[in-house]
C-alpha cells in the first residue's frame, strides 16, 4: 500500500526502549538520484543536535507511528555521508515544476506517495496550472513516467501518457504486530490501565 508524504509528516516516532514517543516526523530528506526518502527531520527530538532519523532505523511503520529501537538511532547532519551530501544540495522535491519532454507545463509537485516498507517514492501529486485545473485539478504521475529531475523541475514523458486520475486516499493497514499495542510497552508515566486479559 501507498501512503502520502503529507500523511507521514507529524507521525509519532516511538522508541521501544522508552515505550513512548520521542518526537514526530517532520520534513523528508529525498535523494534525487534514487527518488527515495533517506531520512526525516524530527520535531521535539530529545537532542537538538541529533534530530535526523535515517529510514533504515525504522523497524516498523503503521498508523500508530514509526517504531525505532532507541533514541540513539537519531543522528546529526554530519553523521551519515549520503544524508549530508543530499542536505548540502538543498534539494526539495515539493514545489518543483513539472514539464514534459516537449516543454508542456503540467504544474508543480505538492505531494508524493511512498511505499512505507522502503520509503521509495512511487507517485508525484502535481497541482495543475489555473487553466488546466478546471479539467484536472491534480495529476498523479507514476515514477515510471519520470525522465529527469533537475534542481528546478521534473521532466516526464508525453502528457497524453501521464495518468490523470487523482490520487486515491488509501488507508494503510499494518500487517505486523506492533509492540506498542502491548501493555508492557506502555509509556512510563502511564498507569497500568492497559492490562492483558487473563489467558485460559
Asked if residue 168 is part of any domain, the answer here is no
Residues spanned by the domain of 134 = 97-161
Task: Give the pLDDT confidence score for residue 132 in this predicted structure.
Answer: 62
Last residue of a domain, one of 70, 89, 108: 89
Task: Give the pLDDT confidence score for residue 17 in this predicted structure.
Answer: 85
- List pLDDT tens digits, range 160-182: 455 453 334 434 444 444 445 54
- In a shared domain, residues 108 and 156: yes
Asked if residue 69 is part of any domain, the answer here is yes
- In a shared domain, residues 122 and 69: no
Residue 185 banded pLDDT, cuts 50, 70, 90: very low
Average pLDDT over all residues of the chain: 82
Residue 134 banded pLDDT, cuts 50, 70, 90: low
- In a shared domain, residues 144 and 75: no
Residue 158 banded pLDDT, cuts 50, 70, 90: confident
Asked if residue 26 is part of any domain, the answer here is yes
Residue 116 banded pLDDT, cuts 50, 70, 90: very high
Asked if residue 180 is part of any domain, the answer here is no
In this prediction, residues 27-55 reach a mean pLDDT of 94
Asked if residue 198 is part of any domain, the answer here is no
- List pLDDT tens digits, range 78-94: 999 999 999 999 999 99
Overall pTM > 0.85: no
C-alpha cell at 129: 496550472
Asked if residue 195 is part of any domain, the answer here is no
Other Cβ atoms less than 10 A from the Cβ of 97: the count is 15
Task: Give the pLDDT confidence score for residue 76 in this predicted structure.
Answer: 94
Last residue of a domain, one of 39, 63, 89: 89
Task: Give the pLDDT confidence score for residue 128 in this predicted structure.
Answer: 84
Asked if residue 155 is part of any domain, the answer here is yes
Q: Which of 44, 5, 17 is nearest to 185 (CA)?
A: 17
**Per-residue H/E/C for 109-152:** EEEEEEECCCCEEEEEEEECCCCHHHCCCEEEEEHHHEEEECCC
CATH of the domain at 30: 2.30.30.240
- In a shared domain, residues 49 and 69: yes
Task: Give the pLDDT confidence score for residue 174 in this predicted structure.
Answer: 42
- In a shared domain, residues 84 and 10: yes
- In a shared domain, residues 70 and 129: no
Tell me the DSSP string of the chain: --EEHHHHTTPEEEETTTTEEEEEEEEEEEETTTTEEEEEEEET-SSTTS-EEEGGG--EEETTEEEES-GGGEE-TTTSHHHHHHHHHT---TT-EEEETT--EEEEEEEEEEETTTTEEEEEEEEPPTTGGGT-SEEEEEGGGEEEE-SSEEEES-GGGS--SPPP-PPP---S--GGGSGGGS-TTS-TT--PPPP-
Q: Total structural domains in the chain?
A: 2
Amino acid at each position: 500500500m501507498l501512503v502520502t508524504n503529507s500523511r507521514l509528516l507529524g507521525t509519532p516516532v516511538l522508541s521501544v526502549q522508552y515505550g513512548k514517543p520521542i518526537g514526530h516526523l517532520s520534513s523528508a530528506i529525498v535523494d534525487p538520484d534514487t527518488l527515495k526518502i533517506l531520512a526525516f527531520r524530527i520535531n521535539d527530538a530529545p537532542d537538538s543536535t541529533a534530530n535526523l532519523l535515517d529510514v533504515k532505523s525504522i523497524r516498523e511503520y503503521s498508523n500508530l507511528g514509526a517504531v525505532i529501537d532507541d533514541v540513539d538511532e537519531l543522528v546529526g547532519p554530519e553523521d551519515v555521508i549520503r544524508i549530508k551530501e543530499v542536505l548540502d544540495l538543498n534539494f526539495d522535491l515539493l514545489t518543483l515544476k513539472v514539464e514534459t519532454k516537449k516543454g508542456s507545463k503540467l504544474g508543480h509537485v505538492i505531494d508524493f506517495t511512498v511505499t512505507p516498507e522502503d520509503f521509495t517514492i512511487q507517485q508525484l501529486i502535481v497541482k495543475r496550472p489555473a487553466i488546466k485545473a478546471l479539467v484536472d485539478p491534480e495529476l498523479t504521475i507514476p515514477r515510471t513516467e519520470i525522465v529527469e529531475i533537475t534542481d528546478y523541475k521534473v521532466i516526464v514523458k508525453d502528457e497524453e501518457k501521464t495518468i490523470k486520475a487523482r490520487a486515491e486516499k488509501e488507508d494503510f493497514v499494518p500487517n505486523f504486530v506492533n509492540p506498542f499495542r502491548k501493555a508492557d510497552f506502555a509509556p512510563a508515566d502511564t498507569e497500568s490501565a492497559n492490562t492483558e486479559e487473563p489467558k485460559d
